[in-house]
Amino acid sequence: MIRISIDAMGGDHGPQTILPALAQVAERRGDVRFLIYGREEAIRPVLEKHPRIAAVSQVFHCDVMVKMDDKPSAALRHGRWKSSMWKAIEAVKTGEADACVSAGNTGALMAMSKFCLRTMANIERPAIACIWPTLRSESVVLDVGATIGADAQQLTDFAILGAAMARALFEIERPTVGLLNIGVEEVKGQEEVKDAGRMLKASNLASLDYIGFVEGDDIGKGTSDVVVTEGFAGNIALKTAEGTAKQMASYLRSAMSRTLMSRIGYVLAKGAFDFLREKMDPRRSNGGVFLGLNGIVVKSHGGTDAEGFAAAIEVAYDMVRNRLLDRIEADLDLFHAKYPQSAGLGPEDEAEDTDIGTDA
């Protein structure tokens, strides 16, 4: 049985969108159970319409909810211990749930997840990983915005975390890993990327196959199963790709409606366009995974629909089923046995958490 805790109040549309997603997942996965956190008066009416969900769920009433525009510090101040987001994360900590899914705001969800679950031993910073559709299949790209900047050790940790996720999700034995870099030779800076490359090469891990540097256009090609970068460049790459995909779709729409002939062509090729739309559907790859914490938390896009939220739940489900955390722990142990000097900085990390909790 796989138990997923759900923050029913997150996202732009709340329980009306989130709960029907549970029905979709329950349909496909017989062994899934849900712990639903949120306002009972908003949840109950939806459950009454979906007896399928009620049969596999427990509802826990929470008065407080984190708003989509709450700053992380504000969310922690007024939402810690009691909000639906906190409670859903806490269920993972207490072992009542195997993973948590929320469509709430990213900053708040990360701050609460760090505060509640703490980073894993040997990991300094968590990362947000996304599933990136490629010409070959799909890749894991991280960090897409948990923190800005990363040193060589953190990039190496991201490589291990991302490879474990790729193994769990794509069921690849030894995923290929590339470090995102720019192709200009002899440019000063980014020493941390070069150092991370040297560390990955030298450690020659059984859990991943380090293939060297990759560039921005390699992501969409699917040159490696995992692409590692720090959060600023990763976030910009992700959003730029989203923007470009929308731009292409818009060009295509306006091209197809230009003339009578092209409109007829569109009707005839409608099956092809439906196929294309499905290929490009951002809901298919919905779900930012928080890696490096003592628990699995998946962030769904805030504006997604039931189908998109269901995809995020399935990501969480697959990672639990494929024992993501055990894999990560084993991989980290192996790596840090080779590099004992690079143990995680527990106390500093806690200090950072406290910062987020107390700053105005």
CB of 245 to a copy of itself, least distance (A): 6
3-state secondary structure 173-195: CCCEEEEECCCCCCCCCCHHHHH
Structure tokens at 125: 């910073």
Residues 96, 356: Cα–Cα separation, whole Å:
26
Return the H-helix or E-strand segment holding 127: strand 127-133
Instruction: Confirm or reject binding of residue 262 to a copy of itself (CB under 8 A).
Output: yes
CB of 126 to a copy of itself, least distance (A): 13
Instruction: Confirm or reject binding of residue 358 to a copy of itself (CB under 8 A).
Output: no
Structure tokens at 92: 């993972």
Question: Hey, which residues between 193 and 232 contact a copy of itself (CB under 8 A)?
Answer: 215-221, 229, 231-232
Compute how many residues bind a copy of itself; rule: CB under 8 A: 72
Residues 194, 318: Cα–Cα separation, whole Å:
33
Binding pattern to a copy of itself, positions 269-288, x when CB under 8 A?
xxxxx-xx--xx--------
The residue behind tokens 């211990």 is: 81
136-149 burial code (b ≥16 CB/10 A, e <16): eebbbbbbbbbbee
Selection from 171, 291, 162, 286 nearest residue 214 by Cα: 162
Selection from 49, 55, 119, 109 nearest residue 300 by Cα: 109
Of the residues 256, 282, 305, 321, which one makes contact with a copy of itself according to CB under 8 A: 256
Question: Hey, which residues between 83 and 142 contact a copy of itself (CB under 8 A)?
Answer: 106-107, 134-135
What DSSP state is assigned to residue 64? Answer: B
Handedness of CA 173, 198, 120, 75 (dihedral sign): negative
Question: Hey, which residues between 137 and 176 contact a copy of itself (CB under 8 A)?
Answer: 145, 147-149
Of the two residues 254 and 341, which places its CB atom closer to a copy of itself in the complex?
A: 254
Instruction: Confirm or reject binding of residue 179 to a copy of itself (CB under 8 A).
Output: no
Binding segment for a copy of itself among 6-14, 21-29, 48-56, 180-188 (CB under 8 A)?
A: 180-188
CB of 53 to a copy of itself, least distance (A): 32
Contacts 24+ apart (CB under 8 A), 276-281: 279/133, 280/133, 280/245, 280/249
Of the two residues 204 and 247, which places its CB atom closer to a copy of itself in the complex?
A: 247
Structure tokens at 287: 């779900």
Of the residues 51, 95, 268, 347, which one makes contact with a copy of itself according to CB under 8 A: 268
Return the H-helix or E-strand segment holding 48: helix 40-49
Of the residues 28, 239, 326, 354, which one makes contact with a copy of itself according to CB under 8 A: 239
- Residue 125: CB atoms within 10 A of its CB come to 23
Instruction: Confirm or reject binding of residue 295 to a copy of itself (CB under 8 A).
Output: no
CB of 273 to a copy of itself, least distance (A): 7
Left, alpha or beta for 81 (phi > 0: left; psi -120 to 50: alpha)? left
Instruction: Confirm or reject binding of residue 356 to a copy of itself (CB under 8 A).
Output: yes
Binding segment for a copy of itself among 38-46, 50-58, 256-264, 332-340 (CB under 8 A)?
A: 256-264
Of the residues 188, 337, 341, 347, which one makes contact with a copy of itself according to CB under 8 A: 188
Question: Hey, which residues between 4 and 63 contact a copy of itself (CB under 8 A)?
Answer: none
Of the residues 51, 186, 340, 341, which one makes contact with a copy of itself according to CB under 8 A: 186
Extract the runs of DSSP E, i.e. beta strands, from 73-119.
99-102
Binding pattern to a copy of itself, positions 69-88, x when CB under 8 A?
--xxx---------------
